[in-house]
Amino acid sequence: MIEIKDVYKTYNEGTPEAFDALKAIDLHVNKGESVVLSGVSGSGKSTLLSLIAGLDKPSSGKITVDNELISKLPDMHASAYRAKTVGVIFQHFNLLEALSVEENVMAPLIHSGYDLVKIREMTEKSMSLASILHKKNAEVKALSGGEKQRCAIARALVHEPKLILCDEPTANLDRANSLKFIEILHALHDMGKTIIVATHDPLFEGLSFVNKVVHMEDGNIVNKEQGVGSSE
Ligand SMILES: Nc1ncnc2c1ncn2[C@@H]1O[C@H](COP(=O)(O)OP(=O)(O)OP(=O)(O)O)[C@@H](O)[C@H]1O
Ligand SMILES: [Mg+2]
């Protein structure tokens, strides 16, 4: 599903502030795998996710997702790739506060070409999957943190992406809501989605459905643990 070969990312390239955020990254993720990306603040987790999401380009190296060469996609094609293949869940939910849950969740489908009946059907399905259907008419600004996160999940899933990328998804959630989030991820894993979660939340340690823990340090991948329960 994802093939990353010798990827470097240098911010402010060619200036005195040049900074290598990613160095010689190689990573292979199979379809249907769940991967936890760990590492301290500044190790390059968000940078790597943004490259896989097609939100930014590597300085060199190759990224292929679902047989598409993402590292070279022109911006227009990169947004089409995201609209088709990727769902992204951030720490800050990036929701439109004055709109309802349903309107937020539906937003990515506006230019999808689907008719309104289909859009409503996909929106309901996604809200149900993310356990937020009961709040569909509520304004986002009236939701709790956990509910906002579930609204963001529903929006990320509404176009039925194969690949789900999460960046510190539980950083603003209490334990109960974090566990609920993990339950939803588990269900998505069982549906065959490919999932990458960048996190330093200890709740993600030792989860039965996580296939790989990839540890990052200073822009490098320093180990690739296969399976769960293996010791450091
Ligand atoms: N746009 C940018 N311009 C310059 N440097 C950047 C930029 N974005 C990130 N960096 C630097 O690249 C490094 C990696 O950042 P990144 O956000 O990928 O880390 P992270 O592992 O996600 O950290 P955190 O756990 O704090 O989210 C950091 O040292 C950061 O300061
Ligand atoms: Mg980050």
Evaluate: CB of 44 within 6 angstroms of ligand 1.
Answer: yes
C-alpha span between 118 and 124 (Å, rounded): 10
Cβ of 47 closer than 6 Å to ligand 1, yes or no, is yes
User: In terms of C-beta density within 10 A (0-12 exposed, 13-18 middle, 19 or more buried), how is residue 68 classed?
Assistant: middle
Ligand 1 within 6 A of CB of 9: no
- Tens of pLDDT, residue by residue over 87-115, are 999 888 889 999 999 999 999 998 888 99
Task: Please tell me the residue having the least CA distance from ligand 1 atom 1.
Answer: 11
Range of the domain at 157: 29-57+65-226
Task: State yes or no: pLDDT of 229 exceeds 60.
Answer: no
Look over the chain and give the mean of its residue pLDDT values, rounded to a whole number.
92
d(Cα 45, Cα 220) in Å, to the nearest integer?
10
Is 16 part of a structural domain of the chain? no
- The CATH number that applies at residue 72 is 3.40.50.300
Domain membership of residue 3 (yes or no) is no
Domain-located, residue 195: yes
Could you tell me if the CB of 42 is within 6 A of ligand 1? Answer: yes
Give the number of domains in the chain. 1
Confirm whether 136 is domain-assigned.
Answer: yes
Q: pTM, whole model, 2 decimals? A: 0.91
Q: What atom of ligand 1 comes closest to residue 91's alpha carbon?
A: 27
With the most atoms of ligand 1 within 8 angstroms of its CB, the residue from 10, 46, 59 to mutate is 46
Confidence of residue 174 (pLDDT cuts 50, 70, 90): confident
Residue 125 lies in a domain: yes
Query: Quick check: is 197 in a domain?
Result: yes
Say if 126 falls within a structural domain. yes
Tens digits of residue pLDDT in 119-156: 999 999 999 999 999 999 999 999 998 899 899 999 99
If you measure from the C-alpha of residue 115 to the centroid of ligand 2, how many angstroms do you get, rounded to a whole number? 37
In a domain, 130, yes or no: yes
Which of 88, 228, 70 has the alpha carbon at shortest distance from 153? 88
